[in-house]
Structure 1
């Protein structure tokens, strides 16, 4: 839940004037196909060179402006942990992406705000995602996973699209259940999310999806205001909306953040993790022999894949020095999380998947600091349950097509597979 909810905002601010600085040639920020990542190729070779030679460098942005690109683990944590770097998209110099909807001050999710507003709003839902509360959901997540696996086993020809059959339904069902959203609506929010996160659709298409999502969430919140249920949105309405602490639009912004981020990122991690282990039989067998390794394996898979590749992003509110570089007030920063998670000074032999890695949990795949992913405990449990279940129930599962024919999400902000044909 780090950098995808820009897309729910409904107004685009004026683009900052381009600054007279050109980025280095061969900028690695626009990532190559994910198949290269799985083969340990670019962008990691280029990121590695930047970490060694120019760890804080300049990159160009779609609007013609520029931002700093931080590639070392220590610098990324320093930036994300420093409240002098703002997440507020309304501030001049914020490094807008091609998908950033902009800066409507009335309809921003709390991750696009700074303290004290960020603190006040985030606190309203923090308890819903505490580790103890999420662990209590594990049996239900296991039930959902088993039922979907049962359906896969009944599939004709012992083949399936793992994304459609399992990776996408599990987190969609779980977040719909938690929010009190009818699962029958899942095709609506999945379709709209796909448009909003696409790197190839037109601005008009993206704006139409943004408006449709806004209208859908407005109707959803209105219905729940009339009849709050025993769910996250219902509790927000009873405890904060009815007491005047938040507005109708802020409830809708909560719904967008949790609904979209709650299924999109985990679904893609499930698909990539399954593919990785199907291709690494020795590691898969280790996990089957010793299921206690699954928690560490999930952390290592999160580190290894780092599927959100367009941020996090910040803008300096005052002059700040990072590793000897002066970042001036009003200058944007992009934290290259995939690079930080492959920093050899922190993770030895970083380009190798090692499910016994002793410090894998120190990755920054969920961000860092006050804006780190709210739903990370839920994502971890979903990944642990689904991966362990697949390994146990489908030991012979393998890709049904050559890896080169798998449609990777090179057109999307969040990497993964559009489809993953498998057989067993």
Structure 2
């Protein structure tokens, strides 16, 4: 612990003992287990600390503080959610970088488009897509899980939802990667510009001739009795695209990696694939252990937290995953316990007014993956001689995961 690490000078109100060498894009131990790399700071650092990396910002590590931050939008604003902080001249990401009450009219059409009854109606198509991708892999006896499944299954479901050509999947995924895992604002901005240029003619066409897809719904939303402005429709579309292109793919990568290295848990799930209630419970427990998304906040006023004085205008990162990994809230949190009492305490999808609107669909996709993959490939492992490649950032992810199993005759 030192006061001169990183590139940003320690503010005078930050005590030396609150300074910790934490870089959200380069965490020690993340090559072995990303979530445990975050938890190491929860175990060893002050409950609230300051880091000079990525422009200098605070980090909250205890579930109690993280949940309070997530719910108190008046003090901890969403006006900027990425690290390092984007310049003020950059348009906000709608609706995630809006606070109540401004954000509600933008969020409403997205929530209505992803209600449980809507996801229920989608399930047959989601399941068919999973089976279509898994079946050819069975006889191979191996696969690169990210490229051959995780980056295709939820992304293809999402592209169908927004009526975007499946042939554009690779290009759009590359843009999403730059957006959520680049530590350089210039790289992140290039992804925004590229996606904005891609979406502009599509958004224009959907505003002139709306379809029944999700993109048509959000780019024609009524805000304050008037049709959403074109620039805001582009911003809204970009945020939805980035979320749909990466988050569930990242979750699937972490879950598959865990199951490949934990035979007991994998076999427990494989033995109860016809038990829907058990599968929902198993999905929730795997989500608790493998959170992926991070969103920072901006302080709107001076506030004291855990004895630290945070100043208006400063940023703080409350890592969602640490809620479910805090032993003050969850007993034996590093263990995946399929008999853990319900409800399972976590904040993988956030809390409060900004809880992820795609959570219902994400849960369903993960459950479908468990059912259809384990029905066909119940025993698999990390391919001998390989190691998973993982990355941290605003969305943590598995970039490469080689799996192998006994090929079916």
Q: Normalising by structure 2, what TM-score?
A: 0.86
- 2:340 maps to which residue? 357
Gaps of 5+ in 1: 1-15
1:137 to 118, 122, 134: 122
* CA deviations over 1:141-186 (Å, ceiling 9, x no partner): 10110111123235xx432211112111111111111112122221
* Structure 1 residue 221 corresponds to structure 2 residue 203: yes
* CA deviations over 1:50-107 (Å, ceiling 9, x no partner): 3xxx3122222422x3x33211111111111112234343xxxx68513x54444655
Inter-partner Cα distance in structure 2 for 1:204 and 1:312: 19
Q: Are 1:78 and 1:322, in contact at CA under 8 Å, matched by a contact in 2?
A: no
Moved more, 101-110 or 384-393: 101-110
Cα RMSD (Å) of the superposition?
A: 2.8
- 2:50 maps to which residue? 58
* Structure 1 residue 257 corresponds to structure 2 residue 257: no
Quote the offset at 1:401 in angstroms: 3.3
- 1:149 maps to which residue? 134
Inter-partner Cα distance in structure 1 for 2:89 and 2:128: 40
SS at match of 1:386: helix
Moved more, 312-321 or 179-188: 312-321
2:28 to 28, 32, 44: 32
**Following superposition of structure 1 onto structure 2, how do residues 92-131 of structure 1 map, counting pairs within 5 Å?**
97-98=83-84, 100-104=85-89, 106=91, 108-131=93-116
* CA deviations over 1:296-320 (Å, ceiling 9, x no partner): 1221111112222xx3221222344
Paired residues in the alignment total 392
* Structure 1 residue 19 corresponds to structure 2 residue 4: no
- 1:77 maps to which residue? 67
Structure 2 vs 1, CA of residues 227 and 261 (structure 1 numbering), >3 Å: closer, same or farther? Answer: same
* Structure 1 residue 378 corresponds to structure 2 residue 361: yes
- 2:229 maps to which residue? 247
- 2:379 maps to which residue? 396
Quote the offset at 1:373 in angstroms: 0.9
Inter-partner Cα distance in structure 1 for 2:21 and 2:86: 27
1:46 to 37, 41, 61: 41
2:395 to 408, 411, 414: 414
Quote the offset at 1:191 in angstroms: 1.3
Q: Normalising by structure 1, what TM-score?
A: 0.84
Quote the offset at 1:356 in angstroms: 2.1
Structure 2 vs 1, CA of residues 402 and 307 (structure 1 numbering), >3 Å: closer, same or farther? Answer: farther
Quote the offset at 1:231 in angstroms: 0.8
Inter-partner Cα distance in structure 2 for 1:112 and 1:78: 18
SS at match of 2:397: coil
Inter-partner Cα distance in structure 1 for 2:343 and 2:87: 34
Quote the offset at 1:282 in angstroms: 1.0
Inter-partner Cα distance in structure 1 for 2:81 and 2:190: 23
* Structure 1 residue 194 corresponds to structure 2 residue 177: yes
1:280 to 255, 262, 268: 262
Structure 2 vs 1, CA of residues 168 and 328 (structure 1 numbering), >3 Å: closer, same or farther? Answer: same
Inter-partner Cα distance in structure 1 for 2:82 and 2:254: 27
SS at match of 2:336: coil
Inter-partner Cα distance in structure 1 for 2:219 and 2:192: 23
Inter-partner Cα distance in structure 2 for 1:81 and 1:203: 27
Q: Are 1:56 and 1:69, in contact at CA under 8 Å, matched by a contact in 2?
A: yes
Q: Are 1:303 and 1:360, in contact at CA under 8 Å, matched by a contact in 2?
A: no
SS at match of 1:365: coil
- 1:329 maps to which residue? 312
Inter-partner Cα distance in structure 2 for 1:360 and 1:36: 29
Inter-partner Cα distance in structure 2 for 1:303 and 1:224: 37
Inter-partner Cα distance in structure 2 for 1:195 and 1:28: 17
SS at match of 2:174: helix
- 1:13 maps to which residue? none
- 2:3 maps to which residue? none
Inter-partner Cα distance in structure 1 for 2:369 and 2:67: 30
Q: Are 1:274 and 1:387, in contact at CA under 8 Å, matched by a contact in 2?
A: no
2:292 to 282, 302, 307: 307
- 2:4 maps to which residue? none
Moved more, 260-269 or 132-141: 132-141
Moved more, 270-279 or 26-35: 26-35
Q: Are 1:341 and 1:364, in contact at CA under 8 Å, matched by a contact in 2?
A: yes
